Amino acid sequence: MTDEPTRLDISDEMIAERRGGSGKMPDDMPKWMALSITKIDLFSKWVGNIVCWITIPLILAMTYEVFARKLFTAPTMWAYDMSRFLYGALFMLGAGYALSKGVHIRADFLYRNFKVKTQGLVDFWLYILFYFPGLLVFLYMTIGFVQESIMRGERGMDTAWMPYLWPIKSCLLIGIIFLLIQGISELFKSYWAATKGKWPGDNK
């Protein structure tokens, strides 16, 4: 046996930390690129700071429902729908911020062993070939969903409350736009990593 402590494999966490780096942009980076990355990341951070407050009404709604149901035998008609709506809004509106921090689920069992240049190259082409085309198609379809929902006065049919669905569908639309905006920053970061061998903002 050895006295050396077991070392944890934190490769994935390190990748997320580097990708979410908010350090100073490299001095040799073009000013327009550095400014774009900084401004977009700052925008996503502000969105994330605002969206996180959705957890407060979500918790309050669920707490009220539990007390009303268990103590007074008076379950609400709206708690189920509100929980879905608020959680969906939290998930979608915060997706761009999550991308900026590199915390989306990734299949890193191969990627984490690549050199930084290779990681940047892989990410760059995946953004070009799949990320942006896929989100643009999704955006086009979602615009139609939202327009139709508003025009028809679409309501949820799962509960007797029957809330309008266009607000949550609008959150989906806005969330896609936030992902597209943050994707521009990530594309620039990937390009820089592919050409320079270091993630911008990584001061390690």
Reported as a single tens digit per residue, the pLDDT across 29-54 is: 999 999 999 999 999 999 999 999 99
**13 part of a folded domain:** no
Instruction: Give the per-residue pLDDT at 204.
Output: 56
Q: Which amino acid is at 52?
A: C
CA distance 54 to 177: 19
2 C-beta neighbours (distance < 10 Å), count: 5
Instruction: Give the per-residue pLDDT at 104.
Output: 80
Per-residue exposure over 7-46, b if at least 16 CB sit within 10 Å of its own CB, e if not: eeeeebeebbbbbbbeeebbeebeeebbebbbebbebbee
**10 part of a folded domain:** no
List of the chain residues with pLDDT < 70: 1-23, 107, 203-204
**24 part of a folded domain:** no
**175 part of a folded domain:** yes
Looking at the structure of the chain, the number of domains it has is 1
Instruction: Give the per-residue pLDDT at 39.
Output: 96
**20 part of a folded domain:** no
**14 part of a folded domain:** no
Per-residue exposure over 122-153, b if at least 16 CB sit within 10 Å of its own CB, e if not: bbbeebeeebbeebeeeeeebeebbeebeeee
**65 part of a folded domain:** yes
Find the domain containing 54 and state its range: 30-104+114-196
**140 part of a folded domain:** yes
* Residues paired with 155 in a beta bridge: 164
Whole-prediction pTM: 0.86
